[in-house]
Structure 1
Amino acid sequence: MRFELPASRRLIGEWVRCAATALVLFGCGIAAAQSGSPDILDTLSPEQRQQLIDAYAESRPMGSNDGSFEQYGSGEVPQARGSDGGSGVQDDPVLGAERQRQARQRVLQLRRQYLRFTDTPFSANLEPFGYSLFIGAAPSTFAPVDNFPVPADYVVGPGDLIRVQIYENNNASYALEISRDGAINIPGIGPVDVAGLRFAEVQQTVRAQIEQRIIGAKADVTLGRLRSMQIFLVGDVNQPGSYTVSSLSTMTNALFQGGGVGLSGSLRKIQLKRGGRVVSTLDFYDLLIRGDAHADLRLMPGDVIFVPPVGAQVAVDGEVKRPAIYELDGERSVGQMLELAGGLRASSSAAATIERVSPSHGRVIVDIGRDGVIERSAPVHDGDAIKIKQVSPRIEDKVRVEGFVKYPGRYQWSAGMSLADVLQVAAPLSSDSGEEAYFPAILIERTTEAGGVRRWSALQRGPGGLVPAESLRPNDLIVVLSRSDVEYLSSSDVRSAVAGGGRQVSSCPGLDQLTRLLSSQRASRLVHIFASERDSFGMSDQWGDIQEAANGDARNRDDSAPSYDGYLPATPGQQVQNRDQALILGQGSANGQGDAFITGNGQAGRSARLVSSGPRSQLPSSAARQQLAPASQCPRIYQRVPQILPFLLERSVAVFGEVRRPGLYPVADGTALRSVVDAAGGLTAEGNRENVEYVSYAQALDTGQSRYQTLDVGQDQTLAIDMHPGDILNFRPVYVGQENGVVRLYGEVRFPGAYSIIRGERLSDIIRRAGGLTDQAYPYGAVLTRESARRAEQITNQRAAKDLREALVTAVTSGALPDSDASSGFLSGIVQSLESSPTVGRVVTETDPQVLAARPELDIVVEPGDKLYMPKRPATVTVTGQVLNAGTVAFVSGRDASEYIDMAGGFTQGADDERAFLILPSGQARKLETSFWNFRRVDVPPGSYIVVPRDATPLNGWVLSEKLLGIFSNLAVSAAALAVIGDNN
């Protein structure tokens, strides 16, 4: 058994010296001290116990203990350690984990101590070899002795249990323990001497005795419980002491039971002493590296295992299979150290050094890599640190291929290699439905011989896409472009990066390179020219579509179902049920709610939509447009080779106009115009081959002045001219005299629908093509809408709303406007109506074919997008506004406006009868003179609107009345036109 002495100081020493010190201090016998009985320590006072610990500490070399006895002073009594795993202290999982942590810290501390003088960066896992095997070692990791198989050469002795089974007429079974005199007493036979015999010899002897004494008997002899014995672990072990172990235990079993070899102990020269002589020397490296356990002898009672201090050490790090700090035992050369380290890795190089401590020069570096070979015979000394360096990851004499190829990557360069040779292996991809190859240029980046810098150059492909026989140089980078790579040059992302104020696209390194490195005036000019031409020709500008939708552009609406509902969003679920509610101005509550502009469909009993009276949303700013526009996907080539993007812009030709794929196209010097035209997809059907506008950048550089030229690309000699970066090509369209758009006719025409138009075509021509008017047509009430007029009307309404808001503020601040919620709510409702009301864009014109034939000056020229709504002849007149019973009344020939107002109940108290007005079916508005003193008869045709506005004089006659009359008139005209449109859809 062994003492486990908790202490605050390190305990290092040999058991023999410990026992001698205890004998001197306390008068104990050596035998009693060696017995390891805990009764001895129980008789000691705390002062005597401390003296014993101090004696241990003084008798051991510094640094040999692992710090596991750091809690001395707690009053705990050391406990003996047995073969069954010992006390519960080691079996505690918490204490076991703490022991492993402390052991790992000790290993790292020794590593730092060993390498503290070196400047070479060593691996983080470089540790003393073999010691980590004992981290957390505990006897409980061994199997119980009863389950251990007993070898035939096991020597029995006193304490072993022999089991004998006799088979005869009366079977018998005995468990016989070997006595101290070495004999077992078999009943009916007597004592048999077995001590000192091997187990196989014991079996033969016992069987022979039984068979001689008992006739016909057979015996089976086995071993039961094995004897235990006491051995000693001394020297540089983690937990030295006396241990009771199994008779089958070996040196390694005892070392593990004692916590393993300390960091200051040797793994190469562990001695087994028996009877004062060294009977075996165990080299743990033989077991760990070679699996050789021949020196791991079985222990005998009283054996002493002695671990001497560690010997010379050498560190081996770098590209070896087992980097570690190794203890020397006969190794004297670099080659032998490399064998201990498992040999070199495949990634090792001939660059190897030794850092050595020189008594005269301090730390020195010895180069052992000579002529591309490691000098394995170079001697090593204690404290050396061998570093085997890794082969350089950089591949020399290579070429790299990226882009639109089947096998991108690096290829070994060889003298005489051409571009065609390497591309034959890399296999450029051919065009298919998913992606197309780009033929006009192949790019090469190479190192200049003079300055050693990297520069790009563009090479022109030959006929049929054949590459030139360009000789390659080491470390050349070849890039084969695809169609999508080139199209990205014309994207909004690139335009934004060139402008310098666009959004950052972190997912595209090529744009980052462009933002930092672009300084070419030519590249910037091309991008801006193409962008402006792109916008002017209405090419695929994503923001343009968004802006047109926000503005309510009629071109973005579904022409198959024309409706004024698309101009502004309608409020869901709010409807009016009759035509009497078609126009409501300022009839809401005092807080302005309900002051909305309601447009009817022109027929009683049918629904009309309520358009929101809230203010229009402001259009996004230019910065917001960049965020609204979807980002283009960054091609992979600009992620792999980001520095190529600025170069491609500088090497591009701008192509726009009547080609199938306008854009920026990078070219090599001397690229033929034919190649550029083919890259752009060729001319469209409307492209004018004889009138192509061309600006030569090279000539502008020579003369300092740009000049337009006209080319005829229908001639072979023209297609053969050389193109240069910076050139601009504008393919003009052929003049065909046909407008890009249609005119739509609705209602009472014989063949309503869409009609394409030619330049100069007039309204009568379109009506004639539609088969003329039907018998039910009412040309006087026809509505012609035009997009340009709608936009102008929208601007007018916005300006009127602004003026009215400013006048309202002026009237309130000056005191001219009564301070009442009703007045403010009324005027706010008018402003909101102006801002939110749908604009129609009605053009007041003559639509009767007979009148147009008689007066050609009234026959207007139609424009693309025009819509003509031809209604049926109505039989009603609508009276709305400030009358008692606003609504629709039957038309009676000969009645004037005052009679229709009387039919609607007459004026209300708040009506402004002097400012009532009439909206004719043609869209014209006339003022009515309906007062008693000033009356002028006005005939009212069918389909007219009579509007009686509210009296604005109480608000502020001199400031607001004139403005309100014009506003009421405009809104009413729009409402009347929308009613006609709704009836004819």
Structure 2
Amino acid sequence: MYRLLSSFFVVFLVLSSFNVSQAAPQISQSQLEMFKKLPKSQQEALAKKYGVDIDTILSPGQNKDQGTKEFDYTPHQKQTEQESETSLFPEDDYYKPEELELKRFGEEFFQPDISNITTATVQSSPNDYLISIGDELSITLFGKQNEQHSVVVDNNGSVVVPSLEPINVIGLSLAEVKELVAQQVETQLIGVKSLVSISQLQPIKVYISGEVVKPGPYVLPPLSTISTAISFAGGISEVGSYREVSVKRNGELVAEFDLYDLLVEGSNADDITLRTGDVVLVPTVKKLVNVEGSIKREAIYELSSGETLADAIAYAGGFSHQAYTDSIRIHSSSGSGSKVIKNVARKNLGKFELADGDQVFVPEKTDKASNSIYLIGASSRPGQYQWYEGIRLSDLLGDPNISLLPNADLNYGLVVRSQDNGNVVIKQFSPINILDSDEQNHELKPHDQVVIFSSFELKQQELAQLRKKALTKQELKNLQNRLRWDEYKQYKFEQYTAKKEQATFGEELEVTSKKLSKQDLEVFVTNKYPIYLSSLQEDVNEFNSVDEAKEFIENELTVFSRSKLLSPILDKLATQGGQGQPASIVEISGSVKYPGLYPISESATVKDVVKAAGGLLEGTYLEQAEITRIQTAGKVNVENVTFSLKNALSSKASDYELQGRDYINIFKAPNWQENQVVELVGEVLLPGKYTIKRGETLKSVIERAGGFTEYAQPNAAVFTRESLKEQEQKYLQDLSEALRREVITNNLNTSDSILSTGSEGLNDLIQQLSETEAVGRLIIDLDEVMSGDTRLVLENMDTLYVPTERQSVNVIGEVYVATSHLFKPGYGIDEYINLSGGYKDKAAMEKVYVIKANGQVVVPEQKSWFSKGGAEEQIAAGDTIVVPLDSAYKDNLTLWTQVTQIVYQLGVAVAAVGSL
């Protein structure tokens, strides 16, 4: 018996040593044997408790795949990883994430811990303990003679004390044994008295069945109780009952144990001591309910038959001081499977009986203090602040350059003020001006919400602007982390002030995943987001459903964007509008930074809305703007009002006051264009990029660049244009698809097809065509441009490549050696082809053509073109002779000639540009 308890203690020390040292522990064979003698369920429970692999303990050093290895153990790895995650900003611990996972009440009670097991002594042995074979008794004799004896109950159930006859004690209680021994001593030893105690007890073997983690037979320490036994079995399972545990002895029910008596009342009267052969049964739970909200202990509770909502609240520790008890909400499932919500007043708690699976939510009282104001948005310290008489924006914000985030818009902020009738009114201000202007430095009222916006609508804009600052990489990273943290604090603060229940019961919000047409999706984006997100529209069109589009847009927007912060304000204002009282919302479009919908305050002007929209863009037409206004007096009438934008931005006159639902259109200046740049590369006197004005010609820019150098070859110049490049790229893709279709149609997959292996295969050509990047070349005669015979008006991003004077003639295509040759006056096409080894078998000799140095394609006439005195005169330095493949060699592919010609021409253009 002592050895068994010692083995428990040794195993505890061994397992504990795993947690202290990361080195491989040295486990002796005797220790291992002690651990192996434990029942498997107890081994697993201990291994789980201390986070070790039981297979590694039982077979140390063994590796299934590699034979042997050192024992490797990292204790509590998951917990360590979590603890290593520290906040970037420890002073903001209030805003850290609060992960709340609802647990079952009492589930942590059953944690087996061998260190709590001690050797049972006389002090801990109750008088009703029944003596068993193997128990060790300590018998002390005193009086006429003093002796102390340790005796063990033998297999006959007797103990043998020197000088006394054997005493049969089996089946007797400790109290009865004490009395029996005292009688024997008094009878057989005159003048001697005795004391009897138990020095060591035998373990007991019981059966644990039902809904426990590891049911089965267990050898338990002596004097183990019901709760001790369940702990050794790993605790009660998720579907086991904590309220109706029973013990059977010899088939008879001897005890019923309600764990809540121990957990809630602290009473263990029914947690009886077990005996060998007892059966502990944990039945399936009948009723579980969730209790959440403003109570002292949120958890999942088990209710017995007849218990009510009042009992559930009592088990949860009662209401918190913030609880609103006039209407407690119960979420239940109806017979049809749908959700049913019921409200129960406090006085009816004892009458309302819950059903299995019910969810109880206790709401909080409103925390809307009479002396509070709220700061929301791009502030380094958003939150709830004290209101006092006379407090102004400057008192709340201080110096905006310090108190606001680096991404804050210093020209636009709002005060959202609630009125007694539930409506809201808007006060607009410029944060940068609150210290200098009493008009902007509004006095605040209780419950006012001060909203600070970001200067950027999209995250990519915000990041691009931050990168322009003179910051090191580490400083930029720190600033981005700071912004993300402040955004998270804002999110937590909004959660705190909103007090919404939506996530409490784990209900999924309804998501619209309906497939939409592109037009419907565009309408959704326009209605959902008040700021026109035209830069995202093309990406949004790639989605087919609202939820996909919404998720994409939300990820692109900054947390403090106008779209996010204005949306709930506009929704509220829209509900306030009515007949004869248009909502205090205006729309502005055109040449402003952020066109869209904006709330307006009383007596708002055009100047206010322009500020709200981020200001004017470059090239705005200041002489005229337009307001479209709907008049509803008597009948609906649309009125267009034109005005001077310049005067509206500089004047405070009431002529420029706005009304709800006004539409403001800000125009671009006539003939305005953004900076347009063209580039001259190569043999010009001053190569580089040039800003052009609208309508400027190529000749003008070349003259600004000083003309050509003495080494230039103008007739070989390459002129490219971005708009043509886009068109060509689309054409190449269409041609590639058309070629694939024709290949399939003509079934060219035969052994004698041109679709052969190697570089001449048609598949290679199709792949090459699909991957080819367009050049966007425009064929020009630069001599005619400079002489004024051709007027070429430039576009943005046009490029002119002027090469050095060429001295070579290129031969490509179906010749044996495609290469370049030194220009030789008098040589014609045949001479250059012969220099390249002559024609291949698949060459289309009658379709040879020449790509001139300026990109022009010349198809020679048969006979006359090759005749002496004509052909050689048409081959000049810089020309390229192309020998195409015979598309009818074995296959009748109509696109073949067209494809090869395009590939050759693109190759020549790229080579011309690349040679500069």
Normalized against structure 1, the TM-score is what?
0.47
2:677 corresponds to which residue?
A: 742
Q: Secondary structure of 1:756's match?
A: strand
State whether residues 917 and 946 of structure 1, in contact with CA within 8 Å, keep that contact through their aligned partners in structure 2: yes
2:915 corresponds to which residue?
A: 983
Q: Secondary structure of 2:726's match?
A: helix
Q: Out of 845, 848, 851, which is 1:913 matched to?
A: 845
2:824 corresponds to which residue?
A: 892
Q: Distance in 1 between matches of 2:363 and 2:792?
A: 85
Q: Secondary structure of 1:980's match?
A: helix
Q: 1:645, CA displacement in angstroms?
A: 6.6
Q: 1:858, CA displacement in angstroms?
A: 1.2
Letter in 2 for 1:668: S
Q: Distance in 2 between matches of 1:742 and 1:640?
A: 38
Q: Out of 484, 492, 505, which is 2:454 matched to?
A: 484
2:128 corresponds to which residue?
A: 4
1:402 corresponds to which residue?
A: 374
2:96 corresponds to which residue?
A: none
Q: Which structure exhibits the higher relative contact order, with contacts defined as CA atoms closer than 8 Å and separated by 6 or more residues?
A: 1
- 2:59 is equivalent to residue 86 of structure 1: no
State whether residues 692 and 730 of structure 1, in contact with CA within 8 Å, keep that contact through their aligned partners in structure 2: yes
Rate the CA distance shift 1:3–1:634 in 2: closer, same or farther, 3 A. Answer: same
Letter in 2 for 1:443: V
1:727 corresponds to which residue?
A: 662
Q: Secondary structure of 1:928's match?
A: coil
String of CA shifts for 1:780-817, please: whole Å, max 9, x gaps: 1000000111112112222222222222222129x999
Q: Distance in 2 between matches of 1:782 and 1:982?
A: 12
Letter in 2 for 1:482: I
Q: Secondary structure of 2:756's match?
A: helix
- 2:736 is equivalent to residue 766 of structure 1: no
Q: Distance in 2 between matches of 1:895 and 1:875?
A: 13
Letter in 1 for 2:373: V
Q: Out of 430, 453, 457, which is 2:400 matched to?
A: 430
1:901 corresponds to which residue?
A: 833
Q: Distance in 2 between matches of 1:136 and 1:793?
A: 87
Once the two structures are superposed, the pairs formed by residues 670-689 of structure 1 within 5 Å of their partners are 670-684=603-617, 686-689=619-622
2:295 corresponds to which residue?
A: none
Q: 1:526, CA displacement in angstroms?
A: 10
Q: Distance in 2 between matches of 1:720 and 1:915?
A: 76
Q: Distance in 1 between matches of 2:850 and 2:622?
A: 57
Q: Out of 684, 691, 696, which is 2:629 matched to?
A: 696
Rate the CA distance shift 1:425–1:844 in 2: closer, same or farther, 3 A. Answer: closer
Letter in 2 for 1:86: I
Letter in 2 for 1:478: D
Letter in 2 for 1:78: S
- 2:537 is equivalent to residue 442 of structure 1: no
Rate the CA distance shift 1:95–1:816 in 2: closer, same or farther, 3 A. Answer: closer
Q: Out of 782, 802, 805, which is 1:873 matched to?
A: 805
2:688 corresponds to which residue?
A: 753
Rate the CA distance shift 1:919–1:125 in 2: closer, same or farther, 3 A. Answer: same
Q: 1:480, CA displacement in angstroms?
A: 1.1
String of CA shifts for 1:800-850, please: whole Å, max 9, x gaps: 22222222222129x9996685289732222222211121011011212xx
- 2:646 is equivalent to residue 713 of structure 1: yes
RMSD of aligned residue pairs (Cα, Å): 5.9
Q: Out of 93, 98, 103, which is 2:225 matched to?
A: 98
Q: 5+ residue gaps in structure 1? A: 8-37, 44-73, 111-122, 139-237, 240-315, 325-343, 352-364, 368-389, 449-453, 493-505, 536-540, 548-618
Rate the CA distance shift 1:654–1:464 in 2: closer, same or farther, 3 A. Answer: farther
Q: 1:980, CA displacement in angstroms?
A: 1.3
Letter in 1 for 2:571: P
Letter in 2 for 1:483: F
* Aligned residues with identical type, % of pairs: 20
Q: Out of 417, 426, 429, which is 1:458 matched to?
A: 426
Q: 1:667, CA displacement in angstroms?
A: 2.0
Rate the CA distance shift 1:421–1:637 in 2: closer, same or farther, 3 A. Answer: farther
2:888 corresponds to which residue?
A: 953
- 2:814 is equivalent to residue 882 of structure 1: yes
State whether residues 323 and 365 of structure 2, in contact with CA within 8 Å, keep that contact through their aligned partners in structure 1: no
Once the two structures are superposed, the pairs formed by residues 100-499 of structure 1 within 5 Å of their partners are 132=267, 393-394=365-366, 398=370, 400-404=372-376, 408-409=383-384, 430=400, 432=404, 434=406, 435-436=408-409, 441-445=414-418, 448=421, 454-459=422-427, 464=438, 477-484=447-454, 487=457
Q: Secondary structure of 1:754's match?
A: strand
String of CA shifts for 1:324-372, please: whole Å, max 9, x gaps: 9xxxxxxxxxxxxxxxxxxx99999999xxxxxxxxxxxxx999xxxxx
State the number of aligned residues. Answer: 566
Q: Out of 714, 728, 732, which is 1:793 matched to?
A: 728
Letter in 2 for 1:98: T
Q: 1:730, CA displacement in angstroms?
A: 3.5
String of CA shifts for 1:96-150, please: whole Å, max 9, x gaps: 442555999999789xxxxxxxxxxxx9967799974889899xxxxxxxxxxxx
Rate the CA distance shift 1:488–1:877 in 2: closer, same or farther, 3 A. Answer: closer
Rate the CA distance shift 1:108–1:876 in 2: closer, same or farther, 3 A. Answer: closer
Letter in 2 for 1:941: A
Q: 1:852, CA displacement in angstroms?
A: 3.2
Q: 1:762, CA displacement in angstroms?
A: 0.8
Q: 1:900, CA displacement in angstroms?
A: 1.4
String of CA shifts for 1:254-294, please: whole Å, max 9, x gaps: xxxxxxxxxxxxxxxxxxxxxxxxxxxxxxxxxxxxxxxxx
State whether residues 843 and 886 of structure 2, in contact with CA within 8 Å, keep that contact through their aligned partners in structure 1: yes
Q: 5+ residue gaps in structure 2? A: 1-121, 132-152, 159-168, 179-194, 205-219, 246-257, 276-309, 327-344, 348-361, 463-490, 503-508, 513-519, 575-582
Normalized against structure 2, the TM-score is what?
0.50
String of CA shifts for 1:570-623, please: whole Å, max 9, x gaps: xxxxxxxxxxxxxxxxxxxxxxxxxxxxxxxxxxxxxxxxxxxxxxxxx96677
Q: Distance in 1 between matches of 2:848 and 2:688?
A: 38
State whether residues 916 and 928 of structure 1, in contact with CA within 8 Å, keep that contact through their aligned partners in structure 2: yes
Letter in 2 for 1:694: I
Q: Out of 517, 537, 557, which is 1:632 matched to?
A: 557
Rate the CA distance shift 1:642–1:860 in 2: closer, same or farther, 3 A. Answer: closer
Q: Which moved more, 1:883-892 or 1:420-429?
A: 420-429
Q: Distance in 1 between matches of 2:320 and 2:813?
A: 98
Q: Secondary structure of 1:956's match?
A: coil
State whether residues 530 and 598 of structure 2, in contact with CA within 8 Å, keep that contact through their aligned partners in structure 1: no
State whether residues 850 and 859 of structure 2, in contact with CA within 8 Å, keep that contact through their aligned partners in structure 1: yes
State whether residues 878 and 946 of structure 1, in contact with CA within 8 Å, keep that contact through their aligned partners in structure 2: yes
2:215 corresponds to which residue?
A: none
Q: Distance in 1 between matches of 2:694 and 2:564?
A: 50
2:878 corresponds to which residue?
A: 943
1:965 corresponds to which residue?
A: 897
Q: Distance in 2 between matches of 1:653 and 1:350?
A: 43
Q: Secondary structure of 1:970's match?
A: helix
Q: 1:876, CA displacement in angstroms?
A: 0.7
Q: Distance in 2 between matches of 1:771 and 1:922?
A: 21
Once the two structures are superposed, the pairs formed by residues 548-627 of structure 1 within 5 Å of their partners are none
State whether residues 739 and 757 of structure 1, in contact with CA within 8 Å, keep that contact through their aligned partners in structure 2: no
State whether residues 458 and 561 of structure 2, in contact with CA within 8 Å, keep that contact through their aligned partners in structure 1: no
Q: Distance in 1 between matches of 2:633 and 2:846?
A: 71
Q: 1:895, CA displacement in angstroms?
A: 2.1
Letter in 2 for 1:442: V
